[in-house]
Chain A
Amino acid sequence: MSARKFTIAAAIVASALSSTALAQDLVVRGERVYTMAGAAIENGVVVIEDGKIVAVGPEASTEVPEGYEQLSARVVTPGLVDAHTVVGLTGYSNQPDEQDFLETSSPIQPELRAIDAYNPDERLVDWVRGFGVTTLHTGHGTGALISGQTMVVKTVGLTVDDAMVERRAMVAGNLGPGALGNGGKAPGTRPKQIAMLREALLKAQAAPEKKDEKPKRDLQAEVMRDVLAKKLPLMITANRAQDIMGALRLKQEFDLDLVIDGAAEAYLLLDELRDAGVSVILHPTMTRQFGDYANASFTTAAALREAGIPFALQSGYEAYVPKTRVVLWEAGFAVGHGLAFEDALRTVTIDAARIIGVGDRVGSLEPGKDGDIAMFDGDPFEYTTHVTGVVIDGVVVSREAN
Chain B
Amino acid sequence: MPKIRNLLASACALAAVATPLAAQDTPIVFEGATIMTMAGETIENGALVIEDGKIVAVGTSVDIPSGAERRDVSGMVIMPGIVDTHSHIGGVSGADSSSPIQPEVRAMDSINPRDARIAKARAGGVTTANVMPGSGYLMSGQTFYMKLRDGETIEDIAYLWDDGTVMGGMKMANGTNPIRSTSGFPGTRAKSAALVRTRFVAAQAYCEGNKEKRDLANEALCEVLGGKRIVHFHTHRADDVMTAMRLRDEFGFRMVIQHGLEAYKVADRIAAANTPVSAILVDSPGGKLEAMGASLAAGGILERAGVLTALHSDDGIIDSRLMFRQAGLAVRAGMTREGALRALTVNGARMLGLDDRVGSLEPGKDADFLVLDGDPLSVYTDIRETWVEGEKLFDLSDPEQAIYATGGYGAGEDTMPGEVLDHGGDVLGGGQ
Contacts and interface: CB of A to CB of B under 8 A. Distances in A.
Contacts of A329: 283, 325
Interface in A83-112: 91-95, 102
Interface in B380-432: 380-382, 405-409, 411, 413-414, 416, 420, 423-425, 427-432
Interface stretch (A74-82, A199-207, A286-294): A286-294
Interface in B93-138: 120
B416 A321 contact: no
A317 B407 contact: no
A127 B285 contact: yes
Contacts of B428: 288, 290-291, 319-320
Contacts of A142: 431-432
A123 interface: yes
Interface residues of B, number: 47
Interface stretch (B74-82, B157-165, B314-322): B314-322
Contacts of B431: 142-143, 174, 176-179, 237, 239, 262, 291-292
Interface stretch (B63-71, B185-193, B220-228, B286-294): B286-294
Interface stretch (A24-32, A208-216, A381-389): A381-389
A322 interface: yes
A322 B287 contact: yes
Contacts of B284: 92, 124, 127-128, 322-326
Contacts of B321: 298
B144 to A, nearest CB: 21
Interface stretch (A33-41, A217-225, A332-340, A351-359): A332-340
Nearest to A90: B286
B332 A386 contact: yes
The interface size bin for chain A is 35 or more
Contacts of A318: 287
Contacts of A332: 379
A329 B416 CA distance: 25
Contacts of B409: 265, 268, 295
Nearest to B422: A320
Contacts of B406: 297-299, 337
Contacts, number: 162
A256 interface: no
B416 A141 contact: no
B373 to A, nearest CB: 12
A86 to B, nearest CB: 10
B317 A321 contact: yes
A48 interface: no
Nearest to B405: A298
Interface string A130-142: 0000000000011
Q: Which of B282, B283, B292, B431 has the most CB of A within 10 A?
A: B431
Q: Which of B319, B328, B331, B408 has the most CB of A within 10 A?
A: B408
Interface string A27-68: 000000000000000000000000000000000000000000
B274 interface: no
A294 B416 CA distance: 10
B425 A290 contact: yes
Nearest to A321: B287
Given A142-B432, A322-B286, A337-B406, A286 B379 contact: no
Contact of B282 (A174, A237, A321): A321
B329 interface: yes
Contacts of A383: 325, 328-329, 331-332, 377-379
Main secondary structure of the interface of A (DSSP, over half): loop
Nearest to B427: A319
A325 B407 contact: no
B429 A291 contact: yes
Nearest to B331: A384
Q: Which of B289, B429, B432 has the most CB of A within 10 A?
A: B432
Given A177-B431, A178-B430, A382 B328 contact: yes
Contact of A333 (B294, B332, B379, B414): B379
Given A320-B423, A383-B329, A123 B413 contact: no
A387 to B, nearest CB: 10
B343 to A, nearest CB: 14
Given A320-B423, A384-B328, A385-B332, A141 B408 contact: no
A290 B316 contact: yes
Contacts of A295: 407-409, 411
Contacts of B408: 267, 295-297, 299
Contacts of B427: 319-320
B377 A292 contact: no
Contact of B286 (A123, A178, A262, A299): A123
Contacts of A324: 283-284, 286
Nearest to B431: A178
A309 B325 CA distance: 28
A291 B415 CA distance: 10
Contacts of A237: 431
B407 A289 contact: yes
B312 to A, nearest CB: 13
Interface string B279-313: 00011111111011010000000000000000000
A383 B331 CA distance: 8
A237 B431 CA distance: 9
Given A336-B379, A384-B377, A291 B416 contact: yes
B291 A95 contact: no
Q: Which of A267, A294, A326 has the most CB of B within 10 A?
A: A294
A318 B428 CA distance: 8
Contact of B379 (A141, A288, A382): A382
21 contacts: A91-B286, A92-B287, A94-B288, A95-B289, A127-B284, A286-B319, A289-B414, A290-B316, A290-B420, A298-B321, A299-B408, A318-B287, A319-B432, A321-B288, A321-B294, A322-B282, A322-B287, A323-B284, A323-B287, A336-B379, A383-B332
Interface of B: 120, 282-289, 291-292, 294, 316-317, 319, 321-322, 325, 328-329, 331-332, 377-382, 405-409, 411, 413-414, 416, 420, 423-425, 427-432
Given A286-B322, A320-B288, 5 more contacts: A288-B316, A321-B282, A323-B291, A383-B325, A384-B377
A-B pairs, top 3 by smallest CB distance, nearest first, are A178-B431, A291-B429, A383-B328
